[in-house]
Amino acid sequence: MTLKLPEICTVDSVTPLWKQRMPEVGKLKAGEVLILDADSVKRYDGSAEALIIEVHRCAAAQGFSVEYRDAASVIAKTLKIFNPAVFSDHTAYDLPPRNTHTVVQVGEAAVRIWRDIVDVLAFLGEVVTSGLSFLVRPGRLRLRDTMLCIERAGMDALPIVALIGFLIGLILAFLSGSSMRQFGVEVYVADLISIGLFREMGALITAIILAGRTGSAFAAELGTMKVNEEIDALTTLSLPPVLFLALPRVLAAAFVLPFLSIFAVFMGLFGGFVVLWMMDIPAITYWQHVFNAITVNNVLIGLTKALTFGLLVGLSGCSHGLHAKRSADAVGQAATASVVGSLVLITIFDGIFSVLLFILDI
């Protein structure tokens, strides 16, 4: 068999040889001869060099011999630079599997979520310790950073919180109003929205927004600082990263969420008002029902939940950011993990609140 290399032996002309002739080379047996004809080659590139090496690799594996026609010394030069024996191992660089079985993936995800929860709780311990050192020396907390975090997490989030809060109130009112109207009690939609938003939905919806908007930003910001070795620099300056970077963010998240939550509640109540106004319920009746339904307990429960959820979002974001690996890919993973972790923690703690409130009959 003869394998003739073309005059311009570059990737465009070598590709057909790889596809059409190399399978034939792969079938040659011991004792057969392959003539590798490079006499006419005038220009060649890495793909031609690879073809020459592949021929030698096949010859070594299958036992056939190779004869050269190498007027331009293309083969000789290639073999001088590359030793075919070095490339004989096909399996040495098998890439790690990217996709495993679904069951394994589910199991791994469960373990990851459990570890996330443990990590966040451990991180809470670190933050509390740092918080205590802040109490001893209040000057160590970067007040300017904390205020900036409050502005970014709180003030800058007002438009999206307003929109989502308004729409949630609107949707709740539509869903419940259309059913209650059949019984002529649509005016009680106001009570439902008021209790639902103050006690549950306000804190929950705002926490989800905070997790997606601010928690992920914390994780990405701290992860990037880790990649840039800024965290290492802080450590070597004896400035604990948790106190210097995490505490302002966690405090900011915990501080702003109750306010955002109350804002979302009022926007939701306004959304409900619009629907009931469309159902010909007088404004005064609607607001009377709303304020009658508000109790101190409901407001306090909502605020406690908001404070807790804010704390969890801040902890999850900072924990994932500070524990990120040192690559761009890892920063993205940290941001994603912080959102997932926040949502899982919010759900778990919301469940705990529900059980506790049921037991305490509040």
Single-letter amino acid, residue 200: E
Binding characters for other proteins, 305-344, by CB under 8 A (x = yes)? --------------------xxxxxx--------------
Strand partners, 69: 37
Could you tell me the smallest distance in angstroms from the CB atom of residue 126 to other proteins? 25
**The pair of three-digit structure tokens given for residue 149, joined into one six-digit string:** 């975090």
What residues between 22 and 51 interact with other proteins by CB under 8 A?
22, 45-47, 49-51
Residue number with CB closer to other proteins (280 or 329): 329
Distance CA 169, CA 192 (A): 10
Residue number with CB closer to other proteins (91 or 182): 91
Q: How many angstroms separate the Cα of 249 from the Cα of each of 221, 242, 358?
A: 11, 10, 32
In the block, tokens 């009690």 appear at 185
b/e code 190-219 from CB counts within 10 Å (16+ = b): bbbbbbbbbbbbbbbbbbbbbbbbbbbbbb
Residue number with CB closer to other proteins (48 or 251): 48
Residue number with CB closer to other proteins (100 or 327): 327
Q: Cβ(261)–Cβ(299) under 8 Å? A: no
What residues between 57 and 96 interact with other proteins by CB under 8 A?
77, 81-82, 86-87, 92-93, 95-96
Q: Cβ(290)–Cβ(194) under 8 Å? A: yes
The answer to whether 15 contacts other proteins (rule: CB under 8 A) is: yes
Distance CA 72, CA 43 (A): 10
Site size for other proteins (CB under 8 A): 30
Stretch that binds other proteins, among 17-25, 100-108, 271-279, 342-350 (CB under 8 A): 17-25
Instruction: Select the residue interacting with other proteins from 28, 53, 205, 247 (CB under 8 A).
Output: 53
Residue number with CB closer to other proteins (49 or 221): 49
What are the phi and psi torsion angles at 10 (to 5°)? -115, 180
Where along the sequence are the contacts to other proteins (CB under 8 A)?
A: 10-11, 14-15, 18-19, 22, 45-47, 49-51, 53-54, 77, 81-82, 86-87, 92-93, 95-96, 325-330
